[in-house]
Amino acid sequence: MASSNQSTPPTGSDVFNSAVFQRFLGKAADYIRQPTRMKQLLTDAYKKASEKNDVGTLAHEAWNTLQTLFRLVRTAVSGEYTGVPGTTIAAAVAVLLYFLSPIDLIPDFIPVVGLLDDVALLAWFSTTVKSEIDKFHEWELTRPALAIEEKAAPRTADEMFAPAPESAKNAGTETATV
């Protein structure tokens, strides 16, 4: 009765190609079309990631990748960043929906192993879209508002998703001091 797949955690590709993940992919477009719902998804995913990061469940690299995905999705959905295909954004939203869902291939309520499929999917996805993430990082570095925003890392979801301060928006070509 037991299959050999039960002894090893699923790979990110396994998760991505699963029927469970495909349901989340189908829901992603609905979220993208509704800014309020999208903001709530990002806020909820950020809170969950923060909680898991605080207890050491998420590896440092996974935490950094999630933060990048949050920023990428937020700026792409708002139209601020246009350098990524819509299909990549839809897949990124589906990854966040999957991460947020407590019921997936390995339910999150199972201690320790409950996040294995989530982290595997995140690692695989970030590797798959690495060139897109690299372009996004480059874009972030060239934004005039970035120097002001980087003074302190956001500590709450509200800080992470707050619009840039007016001083940053009006910075133009002036150099902001850090």
pLDDT single digits (tens) 151-165: 444 555 555 555 444
Distance CA 47, CA 45 (A): 5
- Reported confidence tier of residue 54, pLDDT bands at 50, 70, 90: low
Domain spans of the chain? 10-129, 143-178
pLDDT single digits (tens) 3-23: 444 568 789 999 999 999 999
Of residues 90, 83, 88, 86, the one with CA closest to residue 41:
90
The structure tokens 């897109």 sit at 132
User: Which position has the higher pLDDT, 117 or 28?
Assistant: 28
- Reported confidence tier of residue 177, pLDDT bands at 50, 70, 90: very low
Q: How far is CA 65 from CA 20, 56, 72, 95, in A?
A: 22, 15, 10, 12
- Reported confidence tier of residue 127, pLDDT bands at 50, 70, 90: very high
Residue 96 confidence (pLDDT) above 50: yes
Q: Which residues contact 164 (CB under 8 A, 6 or more apart)?
A: 145, 148, 149
Proportion of the chain above pLDDT 90, given as a percent: 47
SS (H, E, C) 28-86: HHHHHHCHHHHHHHHHHHHHHHHHHHHCCCCCHHHHHHHHHHHHHHHHHHHCCCCCCCH
Residue 28 confidence (pLDDT) above 80: yes
The structure tokens 């079309």 sit at 33
Residue 58 confidence (pLDDT) above 80: no
The CA-based diameter of the chain, rounded to the nearest angstrom, is 67
Distance CA 101, CA 118 (A): 9
Would the pTM count as exceeding 0.85? no
Q: At what angle do helices 116-128 and 86-100 cross, to 10 degrees?
A: 170
Residue 1 confidence (pLDDT) above 60: no
